[in-house]
């Protein structure tokens, strides 16, 4: 009689590890770019958040906007209906840089953010002040410029508004201290910590997403919900850790300690793809990253590292996805580095 596979148990850190792995491959450029000091009653309308971000990051391919509440409280509301009540220590993330309004109290007459901004270019991080004589609210605003490529499961799974509360007072202090350090160092004329500063908003994004995932209900479809499923999360961890291995469904199912049918069903219900289809997409993402970032590595070597048996098979798969051969795409990086990849990226969720 065949043995029943043992039920896998979720590794506590695997969701955070997956988040960090995927975010780490986004090639983020990021910065804090605005400090807001408001006193009730006040309301700010950001009717063109993309315009705001591109004032400080021209020609960005993909923009994620975030606000961190340092003091006070306010309500954020989007034209699509999403809203959140924000307290000090909370972070608000707009993955698709949508228009929104912030107010305290809700319903206060709004003014355009652009009417308060100083004329660009800015020598440092500008501060804006607005409102009446009531309780104070302080907000730090920042952006992440995401170099979105062919396939990234995280970017295609995010809601339009993420409201992330810190998990503890220590987490709240970490958020504030991190971004305050970012602001202080950015304004120093002798700043030598640019590389580290660029990682702080990225770390904040991972922290916000981790909190968001923790608050998701069980069996939530989509990539973020999938990393809460112990079966799918363990499978994803293995595929991400060894993308070049010769995986197949039976081998992956044995490694996860479930049957092939259970593995396929759980992948289909959360990610709407089979395990091997997910692997093929992830391998292509890694290949694109390698072709762009490591011009010294030959096409055949790239193919081997991401699990293809030969350069010809890899080239055919690459051309099906991006419409051009790998060598042609690599040469295009000096001219239009993102155009081919962006043409294959789906639109954000409605």
Tens digit of pLDDT for each residue in 217-238? 888 888 888 888 999 999 999 9
Query: Is residue 311 over pLDDT 70?
Result: yes
pLDDT of residue 61: 66
pLDDT of residue 193: 52
* More confidently predicted of 202 and 74: 74
| 95 pLDDT tier (thresholds 50, 70, 90) | confident
pLDDT of residue 23: 76
DSSP, residue by residue, 301-337: HHHHHTT-SSHHHHHHHHHHHHSS-HHHHHHGGGT-T
In angstroms, the CA 34 to CA 15 distance is 31
4's CB contacts (< 8 A; 6+ apart) are: none
Residues of the chain with CATH 2.60.120.280: 16-215
Query: Is residue 334 over pLDDT 60?
Result: no
Strand partners, 128: 36
| Strand, coil or helix: 138 | strand
What burial class does residue 324 get, using C-beta atoms within 10 Å of its C-beta: 0-12 exposed, 13-18 middle, 19+ buried? Answer: middle
Q: 224-342: CATH homologous superfamily?
A: Homeodomain-like (1.10.10.60)
Q: State the average pLDDT over residues 123-130.
A: 85
* More confidently predicted of 213 and 121: 213
pLDDT of residue 115: 92
Nearest CA among 174, 279, 157, 138 for reference residue 213:
157
Q: HEC profile for 96-115?
A: CCCCEEEEECCCCCCEEHHH
Query: Is residue 278 over pLDDT 90?
Result: yes
pLDDT of residue 147: 63
Peptide bond into 159 cis (omega under 30): no
331's CB contacts (< 8 A; 6+ apart) are: none
* Share above pLDDT 70 across residues of the chain, in percent, rounded to a whole number: 82
Residues of the chain with CATH 1.10.10.60: 224-342
Query: Is residue 250 over pLDDT 90?
Result: yes
In angstroms, the CA 161 to CA 183 distance is 24
In angstroms, the CA 258 to CA 254 distance is 6
The answer to whether 38 and 55 are in contact (CB under 8 A) is: no
Each residue's pLDDT tens digit, 8-26: 333 335 666 788 778 777 6
Query: Is residue 342 over pLDDT 60?
Result: no
Query: Is residue 185 over pLDDT 50?
Result: yes
pLDDT of residue 291: 92
Decide which of 2.40.10.10, 3.40.190.290, 2.60.120.280, 3.60.15.10 is the CATH code for 16-215.
2.60.120.280
- Report H helices in the chain: 14-24, 49-56, 169-186, 194-215, 223-226, 230-241, 249-256, 260-271, 275-293, 299-305, 311-322, 326-331, 339-342
Query: Is residue 317 over pLDDT 80?
Result: yes
In angstroms, the CA 293 to CA 270 distance is 31
In angstroms, the CA 26 to CA 152 distance is 8
| 279 pLDDT tier (thresholds 50, 70, 90) | very high
Q: Per the structure block, which two tokens stand in for 137?
A: 């609210």
Quick one: DSSP state of residue 219?
A: T
- Long-range pairs, 68-71, Cβ under 8 A, ≥24: 68/92, 68/139, 68/140, 68/141, 68/142, 68/175, 68/176, 68/179, 68/204, 69/137, 69/138, 69/139, 70/138, 70/139, 70/140, 70/176, 70/180, 71/136, 71/137, 71/138
pLDDT of residue 205: 79
pLDDT of residue 151: 66
Mean pLDDT of the chain: 81
- Report H helices in 25-73: 49-56
Nearest CA among 147, 99, 197 for reference residue 337:
147
Query: Is residue 254 over pLDDT 70?
Result: yes
Residue position matching structure tokens 């606000």: 67
* More confidently predicted of 136 and 189: 136
Q: State the average pLDDT over residues 72-77.
A: 96
């Amino acid at each position: 009689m065949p043995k029943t596979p043992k039920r896998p148990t979720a590794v506590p850190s695997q969701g955070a590890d997956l988040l960090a792995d995927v975010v780490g491959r986004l090639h983020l450029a990021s910065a804090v770019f605005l400090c807001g000091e408001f006193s009730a009653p006040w309301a700010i309308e950001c009717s063109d958040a993309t315009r705001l971000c591109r004032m400080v990051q021209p020609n960005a391919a993909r923009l994620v906007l975030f606000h961190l509440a340092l003091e006070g409280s306010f309500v954020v509301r989007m034209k699509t209906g999403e809203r959140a009540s924000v307290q000090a220590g909370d972070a608000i993330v707009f993955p698709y840089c949508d228009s929104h309004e912030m107010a305290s109290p809700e319903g206060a007459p709004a003014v355009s953010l652009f009417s308060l901004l100083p004329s660009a270019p800015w020598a440092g991080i500008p501060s804006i002040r607005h409102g009446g004589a009531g309780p104070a609210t302080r907000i730090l605003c920042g952006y992440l410029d995401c170099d979105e490529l062919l396939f990234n499961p995280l970017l295609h799974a995010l809601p339009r508004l993420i409201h992330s509360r810190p998990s503890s007072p220590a987490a709240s202090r970490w958020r504030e201290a991190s971004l305050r350090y970012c602001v202080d160092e950015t304004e120093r004329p002798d700043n030598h910590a640019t590389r580290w500063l660029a990682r702080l908003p990225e770390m904040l994004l991972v922290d916000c997403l981790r909190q968001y995932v923790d608050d998701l209900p069980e069996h939530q479809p989509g990539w973020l919900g999938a990393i809460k499923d112990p079966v799918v999360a363990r499978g994803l961890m293995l595929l991400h850790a060894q993308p070049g291995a010769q995986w197949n469904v039976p081998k992956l199912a044995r490694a996860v300690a479930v049957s092939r049918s259970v593995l396929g069903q759980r992948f289909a219900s959360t990610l709407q793809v089979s395990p091997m289809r997910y692997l093929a997409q992830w391998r292509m993402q890694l290949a694109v990253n390698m072709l762009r970032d490591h011009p010294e590595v030959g096409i055949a070597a790239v193919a081997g590292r991401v699990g293809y048996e030969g350069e010809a098979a890899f080239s055919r798969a690459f051309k099906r996805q991006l419409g051009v051969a790998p060598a042609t795409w690599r040469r295009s990086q000096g001219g239009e580095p993102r155009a081919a990849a962006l043409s294959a990226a789906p639109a954000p969720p409605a």
